[in-house]
């Protein structure tokens, strides 16, 4: 029994350590599946010079733009940095550290670009959207590239090639399709290679400039994960206790019991985005706050939000 439990813990630990890789692999599978669904179900190239380019480009870039927006929308780091900055712009650059703020924004944007890059790579490797888009380009340079040493009919029928409705011969049409597909796949592999290279260079630069050792950096990441897990658990526990206290006071029709609760300033301080510095060697804003010598231990008299502007919670 103990051997089975140890084996199970080892497997779970392995999956937890590789959760980033597993997450990206799952994202890649979803991207491939989504691209195939788009190609087979909803995509129908109009096959005319006026609409091919716009239609193909919309299917190629539209989902990528949506994935980028969703990546930012579901980014906890983005909302942690952005929340409240309209009322207090200095939250974006605390202590005037604009370079640090820019670095964090670049990191957030880079993380949100993973899914769009996956979509563009898969879509270009498949080639369906690119074939439709490029066949509708009326630029003489592009048309000459595909119809070089061919008849005038090639120029006239180029937009119909993706739909198998052109008057060109079967061999000539297949040759054009292969040229479209080759260009599309070359662009797809270029995006993959450039993204992988930039990712490697960015990671190397980040680790090279790290102020802590590799093992301490690993510990730091583990600590952030555990702090978030326990914060969520404590938040649920205290929210439950506060709800029970308020409901008990309401239904018993009496004064609520005292409830210790962090003040608004404390919430602001632990919500700030934290970067490691030599002068303040803490692992998070929470640790920096609780270890402050001048920490304010006076709780809120009432656990409420006292804000100048109303917030609607849905």
Written as one string, the DSSP assignment of 242-302 is HHHHHHHHHHHTSPPPP-----HHHHHHHHS-----SS---SSHHHHHHT-TT---PPPSS
pLDDT for the residue 261? 84
- Indicate whether 194 and 222 sit together in one domain: no
Q: Which long-range contacts (CB under 8 A, 24 or more apart) does 156-163 make?
A: 159/47, 159/48, 159/49, 159/52, 159/135, 160/47, 160/48, 160/135, 161/131, 161/135, 162/45, 162/47, 162/52, 162/128, 162/131, 162/132, 162/135, 163/45, 163/47
- Indicate whether 162 and 16 sit together in one domain: yes
Is residue 169 one of the residues assigned to a domain? yes
pLDDT for the residue 23? 64
Is residue 295 one of the residues assigned to a domain? no
Which of 209, 226, 244 is at the close of a domain?
209
The parts of the chain modelled with pLDDT lower than 70 are: 1-26, 94-97, 274-280, 299-314
Is residue 304 one of the residues assigned to a domain? no
Phi, psi of 254 (to 5 degrees): -150, 170
- Indicate whether 53 and 171 sit together in one domain: yes
Is residue 307 one of the residues assigned to a domain? no
62/185 Cα distance (integer angstroms): 19
pLDDT for the residue 270? 85
- Indicate whether 203 and 240 sit together in one domain: no
Cβ 66 vs Cβ 31: under 8 Å = no
- Indicate whether 74 and 193 sit together in one domain: yes
- Indicate whether 283 and 239 sit together in one domain: yes
Is residue 269 one of the residues assigned to a domain? yes
- Indicate whether 166 and 268 sit together in one domain: no
Is residue 239 one of the residues assigned to a domain? yes
pLDDT for the residue 263? 82
Which of 209, 234, 255 is at the close of a domain?
209
Is residue 224 one of the residues assigned to a domain? yes
Residue 158's Cβ-count burial label (10 Å; 0-12, 13-18, 19+) is buried
- Indicate whether 200 and 241 sit together in one domain: no
- Indicate whether 169 and 228 sit together in one domain: no
**Number of domains forming the structure of the chain:** 2
Closest CA to 188 of 117, 109, 115, 113: 117
Q: List the domain range (segments joined by +) for residue 43.
A: 2-209
pLDDT for the residue 171? 83
- Indicate whether 51 and 188 sit together in one domain: yes
- Indicate whether 101 and 248 sit together in one domain: no
- Indicate whether 60 and 152 sit together in one domain: yes
Is residue 54 one of the residues assigned to a domain? yes
């Amino acid at each position: 029994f103990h051997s089975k439990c140890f084996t199970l813990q080892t497997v779970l630990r392995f999956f937890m350590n590789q959760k980033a890789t597993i997450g990206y692999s799952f994202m890649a599978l979803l991207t491939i599946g989504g691209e195939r669904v788009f190609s087979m179900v909803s995509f129908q190239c109009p096959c005319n010079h006026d609409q091919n380019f716009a239609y193909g480009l919309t299917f190629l870039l539209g989902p990528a733009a949506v994935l980028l927006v969703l990546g930012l929308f579901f980014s906890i780091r983005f909302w942690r940095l952005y929340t409240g900055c309209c009322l207090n712009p200095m939250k974006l650059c605390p202590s005037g550290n604009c370079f640090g703020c820019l670095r964090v924004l670049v990191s957030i944007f880079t993380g949100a670009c993973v899914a769009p890059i996956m979509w563009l790579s898969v879509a270009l490797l498949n080639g369906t959207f690119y074939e439709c888009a490029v066949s509708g380009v009326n630029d003489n340079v592009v048309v000459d590239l595909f119809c070089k040493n061919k008849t005038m009919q090639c120029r006239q029928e180029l937009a119909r090639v993706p739909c198998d409705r052109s008057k060109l011969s079967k061999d000539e049409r297949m040759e054009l399709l292969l040229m479209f597909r080759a260009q599309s796949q070359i662009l797809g592999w270029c995006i993959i290679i450039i993204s992988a290279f930039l990712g490697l260079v960015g990671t190397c630069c980040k680790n090279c400039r790290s102020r802590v050792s590799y093992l301490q950096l690993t510990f730091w990441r583990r600590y952030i994960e555990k702090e978030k897990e326990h914060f969520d658990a404590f938040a649920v526990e205290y929210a439950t206790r506060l709800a029970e206290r308020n409901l008990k006071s309401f239904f018993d029709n009496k004064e609520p019991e005292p409830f210790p609760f962090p003040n608004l300033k404390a919430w602001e301080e632990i919500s700030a985005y934290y970067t490691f510095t030599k002068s303040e060697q803490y692992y998070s804003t929470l640790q920096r706050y609780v270890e402050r010598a001048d920490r304010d231990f006076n709780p809120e008299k009432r656990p409420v939000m006292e804000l100048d502007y109303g917030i609607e919670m849905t």
